[in-house]
Amino acid sequence: MRGVDKIIKENFASVLICIHGRALRVMLSKIINNDLSKMDKYVHSNTECMYWNMIREIYNY
């Protein structure tokens, strides 16, 4: 997750992440230190585009 670590470290104002929906669930679980068994609670479709500032707002990260 080096790319995500760089985004967190650089503290960019906005970042667009385009990723397969299932991979997004894994990524979100890792970002907020949630167990992967709980990743099914995140809604997704086949391909997701999410702005990083939205991730912060939604998940208080």
The SS3 of residue 33 is coil
User: How far is Cα 6 from Cα 1, in angstroms, rounded to an integer?
Assistant: 9
**How many Cα neighbours within 13 Å face the side chain of 41?**
8
Cβ(51)–Cβ(14) under 8 Å?
Answer: yes
Domain spans of the chain? Answer: 2-59
Summarize pLDDT for 1-42 with one digit per residue, the tens. 677 777 777 767 777 777 777 787 887 787 777 788 877 777
Q: What per-residue confidence (pLDDT) applies to 18? A: 76
pTM of the model: 0.51
Residues 6+ apart with CB under 8 A from 26: 36, 39
Task: Determine which helix (DSSP H) or strand (DSSP E) holds 38, and give its type and residue range.
Answer: none
